[in-house]
Chain A
Amino acid sequence: MQLFIGGTRAGKRGIVRQRFDAAVWHSAHAGCALKAWPSAVESARCLVLEGWERWLAARLADEPSDDRLRQVMSTELDALREWEARSGGEVVLVMLEMGRGIVPLSAEKRRLRDLNGWLAQDAAARCERAWYVWHGLLKQLSY
């Protein structure tokens, strides 16, 4: 499993498209639900998942506990890794860096920002490689 992380419009999508040209995309921006990824991998050897901040945002209201929500997302990451091991496929996670600005005024946004940061940490910890995308350029993050 690999992680590509970068800020808004940093060029993540273009870089991932170029490197994984045969991948199936499971994107929150295309209306896909996170839970629905198993149906997307039926035909795929490589699965790209993007829009994690949207999947998180959609769950904020239903799950008031940060710890439990973080756990739910981690379980999903574990399931993706298990699919890789079982099928010999490849998972690519595209995540948004949003933690480097001013602390948001709204409690909901602060919560989303916190959970998004933890999600990125939990994802990187489960990946073999992590990449930082900055203005269309790519750098491998060291472990």
Chain B
Amino acid sequence: MIAFVSGGARSGKSTHAEALARRWQTERGGARYYLATARGGDDAEMQARIERHRRSRGEGWITLEEPFDLLAALDRVAPGSTLLLDCLTLWASQLLYASPLDEAQGIAIVERTLAEARRRNVGLVIVSNDVNEGMPPDDDETWRYLAFLQQVHCLVARQADEVVQVVAGLPQSWKSQGSRQP
């Protein structure tokens, strides 16, 4: 089972994704993992954001930290468990700017992670952020990032069983099991 949850900044997407992961764990059993793409580091703002997310998630999560190698993180997850990945925007920037990997390798990592999650019966909930509905970027580097991120978003949305856009805390369904695109 794969779910994709996206929306604007502070739209409630993490809260919705956490609730979904809790529900999946209750229904499917296994452990509940949280894969943080954010590294604590020395940045006070980032630490505060991480701490806020940690508090709101509550108890019962096994936290994994992995900036870009999602497959390595998945290897640490017991089959049959539920894994929440929050979030793709940060993962994409770390892959492009803080790893030796390029876009094609990034896409390959996502494809293999989705396939392996299915094979290992891991319920994978993926959170991301909509950043493509404002003015198009006018510098090449931002274009490169946005093009890569959108490629990833389209790939995950296509493969996911459940796709939800969160607006003002309200989950709007784009795809659910058994539903068909118009």
Chain A residues packing against B (C-beta within 8 Å): 6-11, 53, 96-102, 104, 109, 112-113, 131, 134-140
Given contacts A138-B182, A139-B174, contact A8 B132 (CB under 8 A): yes
Once bound together, how far apart are the Cα atoms of A3 and B175, in whole Å? 21
Once bound together, how far apart are the Cα atoms of A109 and B151, in whole Å? 26
Nearest CB of A to B158, in Å: 6
Given contacts A8-B146, A138-B181, contact A100 B154 (CB under 8 A): no
Query: In the complex, what residue of chain B is closest to A53 when comparing beta carbons?
Result: B136
Q: Are A101 and B134 in contact (CB under 8 A)?
A: yes
Residues of A within 8 A of B154 (CB): 9-11, 135-136
| Number of inter-chain CB pairs below 8 Å | 74
**CB-contact partner of A98 in B8, B130, B135, B157, under 8 A:** B135
**CB-contact partner of A136 in B131, B158, B165, under 8 A:** B158
Residues of B within 8 A of A8 (CB): 132-133, 136-137, 146, 150
12 contacts between A and B (CB under 8 A): A7-B133, A10-B154, A98-B135, A100-B8, A100-B130, A100-B134, A101-B135, A135-B6, A136-B153, A136-B157, A137-B175, A139-B182
Nearest CB of B to A120, in Å: 12
Q: Is B147 interfacial (CB 8 A cutoff)? A: yes
Residues of B within 8 A of A98 (CB): 133-136
